[in-house]
Amino acid sequence: MSERLTTTTHGDAPLSAAHHPDARASALWATEEDDELIGRTMTINRPLADLFAFVREPANVLLLLGDALEDLRGESLTVDEEGSSAVVWHTAPGEEPRASGRIELRPAPAGRGTEVTVTVATEARGAIARMIGKLRQDDPRLQSRRALRRFKQLMETGEIATSEPGAAAPRA
Amino acid sequence: MRALTWHGKHDVRVETVPDPGIVNPRDAIIRITSTAICGSDLHLYDHYIPTMKAGDVLGHEFMGEVVEVGRGNRKLKVGDRVVVPFVIACGQCFFCQKQQYAACDNSNPAEKADLSELTYGYAMTGAFGYAHLTGGYAGGQAEYARVPFSDVGPIVVPDGIDDDRVLFLSDILPTGWMAAVNCDIEPGDCIAVWGCGPVGLFAIQSALHLGARRVIAIDHHPHRLDLAKGLGADVVNFEEVKVREALVEMTGGIGPDACIDAVGLESHGFTFDARLDHAKAAVKLATDRVHALRQVLLACRKGGRVSIPGVYGGMADKFPLGALMEKGLTIKSGQTHVQRYTKELLDLIQQGRLDTTFLISHRMPLEDAAKGYAMFLEHQNEVTKVVLKPGLSTDSTATRH
């Protein structure tokens, strides 16, 4: 097993993009060497303050995780603000699964809006659990990506895209 | 309502399906008056494109009358007559703001976007009637369609202008136009166009309109070559002549300045590499057949431009990357940013400077759509474009333009 990376020393990439990140170096509540670290960034064409008003609500933090950690419920989540541009959250000590994360906002360059980075550290799942998670689509990386995409759609267009055809009575 | 649904390779059926309704506030419901079968629909018909599901409604070239408008749409009114772009664009994301509407980040539903993100690196935009890669939206070969972001895409067209003159604003006319725009045409340029289907024909028409000195069109169907000639192109029949040698001779030894691949992934050809492509695709060792594109890359002059409107989806074998690099070619490609060009093209149509009707070979009722697909696939010389008319009686004979 390769040594885990605690910081990307020879580059500017985020730790979550490393082959083998050491989640304990992510300033989240990760305590074990094999804790997993995932991260995903999207640019949303809205002012930072608008997006911060949304993400600082604990219920919305859960929304942004999608079904990634389906056993989490609002009451077992602690959400703290970091200044006026980030929130960090963690599950209560003793709760299963152990998880924590950060939602970070930064102004995007060139008037593109706001960059939103969702980082999640979780207890390691075994290889088989990971595979099953992917098949069942409750893989945290996939779920948080989908949730972030829906958040972007909502903030930019006022809607969440769906290809549901809707239903109407047969027209003449 | 009645709609054309996909059920497998060469199996499409007109069936009764539920009418669509408003789901999101910016939706509109269109009662469809005209809808066409696209060459890229044949890739679905031949089951080249993955992520199709039985019962999917096809069709992405359609127009009609607005019959219902969501409460969030401040632009369209019930009764408006509109042509609907095949790509669904929100108007507000980074890509739409750059007018790269075919790259819209917000129209592919999040649960469907994973498929193309995995395959291509970033998620594709949503589009009508083109598999779940593009969101699984029901298409427009039907009596009604739900149109998302209907305050951005649909083009309002005035009464008094026949459907056939504007229907192709939905896809193939701006596709041919963008293919020509992507050639970055300079004075004196000779443009070579592979494929004289509707997109190739509109690309020829557009290239001449945009100032090309000469266009050389390549195909093997005599009728399609005649249509190209009628537009002002010189023609090359690849069954009769060696294309690359012909192009060298016809361009004073320099080669065409820009080349358009309007053929795409189901390329035909009779050379060894083409037959190998077919064989590999048949046993799924390869996905795309790139015989035409290989020829394009080898035929283009040094320092020239290559424009690829032809649809590709997967991986190509024996791709002449060395020719591309050593000759210093510029490649531009992509699904069409329809909304970027529609106003300009509608103006040209209304001024009588662009005719779109010349390539319609057949008009038939929606009920005969399955027959239309079979004809379009099997008789590509006689059948250039099939336009379906919902509501037209099946007693009507399929007419030839």
DSSP one-letter code for B346: H
Q: Residue B398 above 50 pLDDT?
A: no
Share of chain A above pLDDT 70, in %: 89
For residues A7 and B162, which has the higher predicted lDDT (pLDDT)? B162
B178 CB burial (10 A radius; 0-12, 13-18, 19+): buried
Task: Judge: A157–B138 Cβ closer than 8 Å, yes or no.
Answer: no
Residue B271 is predicted with a pLDDT of: 63
Q: Could you report the per-residue pLDDT of B315-348, keeping only the tens digit for each? A: 888 899 999 999 999 999 999 999 999 999 999 9
Residue B285 is predicted with a pLDDT of: 60
Residue B399 is predicted with a pLDDT of: 44
Residue B108 is predicted with a pLDDT of: 98
Residue B208 is predicted with a pLDDT of: 98
Q: Could you report the per-residue pLDDT of B131-187, keeping only the tens digit for each? A: 999 999 999 999 999 999 999 999 999 999 999 999 999 999 999 999 999 999 999
Beta bridge partner(s), residue B13: B5
Q: Could you report the per-residue pLDDT of B40-52, keeping only the tens digit for each? A: 999 999 998 889 9
Task: Judge: A166–B90 Cβ closer than 8 Å, yes or no.
Answer: no
Contact B30, B77 (CB under 8 A): no
Give the one of A150, A163, A167 whose C-beta lies nearest to B21's C-beta: A167
Using 50, 70 and 90 to split pLDDT, how confident is the model at A118? very high
Q: Residue A122 above 80 pLDDT?
A: yes
Average pLDDT over every residue of A93-114: 90
Residue A73 is predicted with a pLDDT of: 55
Q: Could you report the per-residue pLDDT of B238-262, keeping only the tens digit for each? A: 999 999 999 999 999 999 999 999 9
Q: Closest by alpha carbon to B261, among B231, B228, B283, B292?
A: B292
Work out the minimum CA distance from B68 to partner chain A, whole angstroms. Answer: 11
Task: Judge: B19–A170 Cβ closer than 8 Å, yes or no.
Answer: yes
Contact B261, B309 (CB under 8 A): yes
Q: Closest by alpha carbon to B30, among B128, B162, B133, B173?
A: B128
**Residue matched to tokens 């004979």:** B397
Task: Tell me how far the alpha carbon of residue B373 is from its chain's centroid.
Answer: 15
Closest chain B residue by Cα to residue A159: B24
Q: Closest by alpha carbon to B141, among B369, B400, B391?
A: B369
B321 CB burial (10 A radius; 0-12, 13-18, 19+): exposed
- Asked which of A71-85, A139-153, B70-84, B367-381 is least confident by mean pLDDT, the reply is A71-85
Using 50, 70 and 90 to split pLDDT, how confident is the model at B366? very high
Tokens at residue B281, please?
């695709």
Q: Residue B286 above 80 pLDDT?
A: no
Residue A47 is predicted with a pLDDT of: 97
Closest chain B residue by Cα to residue A144: B110
For residues B63 and A12, which has the higher predicted lDDT (pLDDT)? B63
Q: Residue B203 above 70 pLDDT?
A: yes
Average pLDDT over every residue of A65-80: 69
Q: Residue A74 above 60 pLDDT?
A: no
Looking only at the bridges linking them, the beta strands covering B330-333 and B155-156 are unpaired
Residue A72 is predicted with a pLDDT of: 58
Share of chain B above pLDDT 70, in %: 95
Average pLDDT over every residue of A127-147: 78
Task: Judge: B20–A149 Cβ closer than 8 Å, yes or no.
Answer: no
Q: Residue B356 above 90 pLDDT?
A: yes
- Residue A132: Cβ within 10 Å count: 13
For the full predicted model, state whether its pTM sits above 0.95. no
A93 CB burial (10 A radius; 0-12, 13-18, 19+): exposed
CA angle B333, B335, B337 (to 5 degrees): 105
Handedness of CA B125, B131, B133, B138 (dihedral sign): positive
Using 50, 70 and 90 to split pLDDT, how confident is the model at A80? very high
Contact B396, B362 (CB under 8 A): no
Q: Whole-angstrom Cα distance, residue A126 to residue A132?
A: 10
Count CA atoms closer than 13 A to B56's CA, side-chain side: 29
Q: Residue B19 above 70 pLDDT?
A: yes
Q: Whole-angstrom Cα distance, residue B378 to residue B221?
A: 12
Residue A171 is which amino acid?
Answer: R
Residue A33 is predicted with a pLDDT of: 81
Contacts of B144 in chain A (CB under 8 A): 171
Using 50, 70 and 90 to split pLDDT, how confident is the model at B124? very high
Work out the minimum CA distance from A64 to partner chain B, whole angstroms. Answer: 13
For residues B325 and B264, which has the higher predicted lDDT (pLDDT)? B325
Backbone angles phi, psi at B352, to 5 degrees: 75, 15
Give the one of A112, A162, A165 whose C-beta lies nearest to B109's C-beta: A162
Task: Judge: B107–A161 Cβ closer than 8 Å, yes or no.
Answer: yes
Residue B401 is predicted with a pLDDT of: 35
**3-state secondary structure at position B218:** strand
Radius of gyration of chain A (CA): 18
Q: Residue B69 above 80 pLDDT?
A: yes
Using 50, 70 and 90 to split pLDDT, how confident is the model at A18? confident
Interface of B with A (CB under 8 A): 1, 18-27, 29, 31, 67-68, 72, 90-94, 97, 105-114, 117, 123, 126, 135-138, 143-144, 146, 148-149
What would the DSSP string read from start to end of B76-124?
A: --TT-EEEE-SEE--S-SHHHHTT-GGG-SSSS-HHHHHHHHHHHSSPP
Q: Residue B58 above 60 pLDDT?
A: yes
